[in-house]
A and B are shown apart, each in its own frame.
Chain A
Amino acid sequence: MIEHLPVLLVTVPIVAALLILLLGWHDSRFCYPLTLATILFQFAGGIALLIEVMREGTIRYYLGGWAPPLGIEFVIDTFNGYILPIVLLLALATAVYARRSVEKEIKPEKIVSFYVLFQLLVTGLVGMTITGDIFNLYVFLEISSIAAYTLIASSRKPRAYVAALNYLVLGSIAGGFVLLGIGNLYVATGTLNMADLARLLPASYGLATVHTAFLLLVIGFSIKVALFPLHLWLPDAYTEAPSAVTVLISTVMAKVSVYAMFRVIFSVFTTAYFVETVPVTELILFIAAVAIVAGAVLAIAQEDLKRMLAYSSVSQVGYIVFALGVANQIALEGGLLHILGHAVMKGCLFMVAGVIIYRLGTSSFSDLKGVAATMPVTCAAFALAGASMIGVPPTIGFASKYYLVLGALEAGHWVYAAVLLAGSLLAVGYIWRFIEVAYFSASSHHEGGDHHPAPGVREAPLSMLVPMVILSILCLVLGIFVDPLMKIVAPAVSLLLGGA
C-alpha cells in the first residue's frame, strides 16, 4: 500500500470525484463528507510521503511499472515533499471552510458540480506537484486550470463569467506557451522525463531551440503565477470567484504554479544554465522588484477588501520570484519559506474576506466600518495574519522576508534589499486600511445609517471560524518554530541548487 501511495494520491481522488458526481445526483448531502474524506486521505498521504522522503531520500514511482524515460514517473524529493503537504493542508482547510460559504454563494443546483470540480482542481495540483515527467506536468496543469475556470464562474455574480473568460483566455495562452516550450525541449533532446532532460540538455545549451524553450516556459508559468505585468487576469478572478474558490486558487494554485516554475528552471535547466548561459537573473530580479512595489501600491488604492488582497497577492508573488532572481542558498530558503508563509496567511486573509461577505454581503471598505465590534474573532485573525503579511516578528512572514533580505545582501543587491523592505512598509499601508476601518471607525448604523440591520451581523459560523483561526495561529507558530522547518527547507534548496 505505502509503496503505491504516490499514484493513489492522484487516482483515488479522481475516482472520488466521479463518486461525488454519481452519489450527489442521488442526494447532494453525500458530496461534502466524501470530498472531506478524500482530501483528508490526500493530506495524510502527503505527510506520510514527506516523512518517508526525509528518512529514506527521494521516492521514484514508475507508473504501470514502465521505467523512465519510456514510462511516466512520479518523483517525490525534498522539494516537492515540502510543497505537497502545504498544498493539501490548504486544500483541507478550504474544504472545511467551503461548506457554509458555498451554501450561500452558489446556486443549490450547482453544489454537486462544485465539489466535483473542487476535487479535480486539488487532484490536478497534486499531480503537478509530484510528477517527474514534463508533459504530464502540462496535462495536470490543464486539468487544474479548466477546473479553476469553471469554479470561478460558479459564483452567483454575473461578473464572474467575464472574469472566468478573461482567465480562460490568458490561461490558455500560458498553457500554449508551456506546450510549445515542451515541444522545443523534446526536439532538442528526444525525452520528456525531467531527470533525463537535466542530463541531456547541457550538450545542447548553445542551441536556439533550448533558449526558445526556456523563454516560452518561463513566460507561460509567469502568466500562471500572475507575475507583474502578466497579472491582469488575477484581480477580477480573485474578486469575483466564490470565497472558498478564492481561498483555494490564491493559495494552492498560485503556489503550485510557482513550484512548477522553480522545478522547470532548476531541475530541468539547472542553475548553470540560467545564471551563466542565459543571464536572466538581473531581469528577473528587476521584474520581481517592480511586482513587489506595483502590487502593493495598487493594493493600497483599492476600495474593496477582496480586491485589495488580490493585488497584495501580485506583490507577494514578487517576493517568491525575487528568490529565483537572487538564486543563492539563503534567498531560496526565504523563497520556499514564503511559499508556505504566503499560502497560510493569504489563505487566512481571504477566509476573513469570505466570512465578511457571508455575514454582510459585501466587502467594500465603506460598508465595513466598526465590523470588529460584531466579529471580534474574525478581525483578530485578520490582524494576526496581516502582521505576518507585513513581516512583524515572530511571524512566518518575518522569517521568510528576513532570509530573503539576507540572501539579497549576500549577493550584493543592496538596492533590491531596500525594495524588499519598502514592500513591507507598503504592506503596512494596505493591511492598516482594513484594521482602521474595522477597529477605529464608528459603525455606520450608530450614525443613523440604515445600511445593515445590526442583528444580522454576528460572528461567523464555527465551520468557517475554525480553519481561519487555525491558519492565523499557524502564522505565529510556524514563525516561532522556524528552525525545525529549516531542516526540511535547507535540503530542498540544496537539491535545487545542486541540480541533481
Chain B
Amino acid sequence: MEAVLEAFLSHYNYGMAIILMMIGLYALIAKQNLVKKLIGLNIFQTAIFLFYISFADVEGGIAPIYLPEGMEAIYVNPLPHVLILTAIVVGVSVTAVGLSLIVRIYEEYGVIDEAGLLKMVKRR
C-alpha cells in the first residue's frame, strides 16, 4: 500500500492527468446534454495537454531563453510545449465545429439532450 502511495505521490502529475482524462471520458459517455458532452471532450483533451507539459518539465528548469556569456541554466524541454500549442489549436477548432453543430441540431430539433434527440430523429 505504502509503495503504491509512494509511486503515486512521486508521479502525481501523471496520476492527475489520468484522473482528469477519466473525468472527461465519463462526461462524454454519461452526460445527456450535448454541450456537457463537448465539455467532457475538452476536459479529455486538456488532460492530454497536461500530460505532455508535465513530462516536458525538468526540476529547477527555466524557459529556454538564450543566456548571456558565462551563465548556465537547466532548460525545460521546449518541444512538447510547441506540440501542444498545435494540439490546442486542433482542440479549439474541434470545439468550434462541435458547438456549431449543436446549435444547428437545436435549431432543427429543438432539443440538446441525447435521449430527446434520439426520439426526435426516429420520429422523422
Interface residues of chain A, those whose CB is within 8 Å of chain B, are 135, 138-139, 142, 146, 149-150, 153, 158-159, 161-162, 164-165, 168-169, 172-173, 175-176, 179-180, 183, 186-187, 192
Across the interface, which residues of A come within 8 angstroms of B38, CB to CB? 169
**Distance between Cα atoms of A463 and B108 in the complex (Å):** 33
Shortest CB distance B41–A (Å):
6
Across the interface, which residues of A come within 8 angstroms of B101, CB to CB? 149, 153, 161, 164-165, 168
B residues 48-105 in Cβ contact with A at 8 Å: 48, 51-52, 55, 79-80, 83, 86-87, 90, 93-94, 97-98, 101-102, 104-105
Q: State whether B121 touches A175 (Cβ < 8 A).
A: no
Pick from B101, B102, B109, B117 the residue with the most CB of A within 10 Å: B101
Q: State whether A176 touches B44 (Cβ < 8 A).
A: yes
Task: Scan B99-120; emit 1 where CB is below 8 A from any A CB, else 0.
Answer: 0011011001100000001000
Across the interface, which residues of A come within 8 angstroms of B93, CB to CB? 142, 146
Across the interface, which residues of B come within 8 angstroms of A135, CB to CB? 83, 86
Across the interface, which residues of A come within 8 angstroms of B45, CB to CB? 172, 176
Q: Please, which residue of chain B has its CB at the minimum distance from the CB of A139? A: B86
**Distance between Cα atoms of A142 and B97 in the complex (Å):** 12
**Distance between Cα atoms of A491 and B37 in the complex (Å):** 46
Shortest CB distance B49–A (Å):
9
Which residue of A153, A168, A179 contacts B104 across the interface (Cβ within 8 Å)?
Answer: A153
Which residue of B41, B87, B102, B117 contacts A179 across the interface (Cβ within 8 Å)?
Answer: B87
Consensus secondary structure, chain B interface = helix
Interface residues of chain B, those whose CB is within 8 Å of chain A, are 25, 28, 34, 37-38, 41, 44-45, 48, 51-52, 55, 79-80, 83, 86-87, 90, 93-94, 97-98, 101-102, 104-105, 108-109, 117, 121, 124
Which residue of A149, A158, A168, A187 contacts B55 across the interface (Cβ within 8 Å)?
Answer: A187
Which residue of A139, A162, A173 contacts B121 across the interface (Cβ within 8 Å)?
Answer: A162
Q: State whether B121 touches A149 (Cβ < 8 A).
A: no
Q: State whether A165 touches B105 (Cβ < 8 A).
A: yes
Given contacts A135-B86, A179-B48, 18 further A-B contacts (CB under 8 A): A142-B90, A146-B93, A146-B94, A149-B101, A158-B105, A158-B108, A159-B124, A161-B101, A165-B34, A168-B101, A169-B28, A172-B45, A172-B94, A173-B25, A176-B48, A179-B87, A183-B48, A183-B55
Shortest CB distance A147–B (Å):
10
**Distance between Cα atoms of A209 and B19 in the complex (Å):** 18
Across the interface, which residues of A come within 8 angstroms of B109, CB to CB? 158
Q: State whether B34 touches A173 (Cβ < 8 A).
A: no
Q: Please, which residue of chain B has its CB at the minimum distance from the CB of A179? A: B48
Which residue of B37, B80, B83, B108 contacts A169 across the interface (Cβ within 8 Å)?
Answer: B37
- Given A146-B93, A168-B94: A162 and B48 within 8 A (CB)? no
Shortest CB distance A292–B (Å):
28
Across the interface, which residues of B come within 8 angstroms of A187, CB to CB? 55
